[in-house]
Amino acid sequence: MRLGITEFIDCAHFLPGHPKCGQIHGHTYKIEVIIEGEASGGMVVDFNELKAQTREVLAQYDHRNWNDVLPFPSVENICELLSRQLKQRISFPLLIRVWEGNGKWAEM
Ligand SMILES: [Zn+2]
């Protein structure tokens, strides 16, 4: 069974050398985390636990500038960074999808 949560953070970024995105600007990032596991005893995992782990990772970046942590903070690179950090905390197989505003996302 799959279980998912959705969280939001607001961040600034710019993409060095990009004609449009080279200017500093901001996005609301929507982060979806989907895990897979057995619903033993009626639960795969407690939503509170999943949300707490995800929020701890995201809190490091909320209302910050991605360029302070990533040289080229594309949604692909942000997705990779968050995936790596979530996997250190969450033991289930997981999928992460990061939305950069509306209509654009990366997942892995
Ligand atoms: Zn942007």
H helices present in the chain, as ranges: 47-59, 75-89
Considering the chain, what percentage of its residues have pLDDT values greater than 90? 98
Decide if pLDDT at 40 tops 90.
no
13 CA → ligand 1 middle, Å: 6
Give me the chain's average pLDDT, please: 97
Residue 52 CA: distances (Å) to CA of 6, 9, 45, 55 = 12, 14, 12, 5
Concerning whether 80 is annotated as a catalytic residue, the answer is no
Question: Mind listing the pLDDT tens digit for each residue in 82-108?
Answer: 999 999 999 999 999 999 999 999 999
For range 2-14, the mean pLDDT: 98
Q: Which of 21, 76, 80, 107 is catalytic?
A: 21
Query: Which residues, other chains included, contact 74 with Cβ-Cβ below 8 Å and sequence gap of 6+?
Result: 15, 106
Residue 54 scores a pLDDT above 90: yes
- Ligand 1 centre distance from Cα of residue 38 (Å): 37
Segment 35-50 shows an average pLDDT of 94
Q: Which residue has the tokens 């953070």?
A: 9
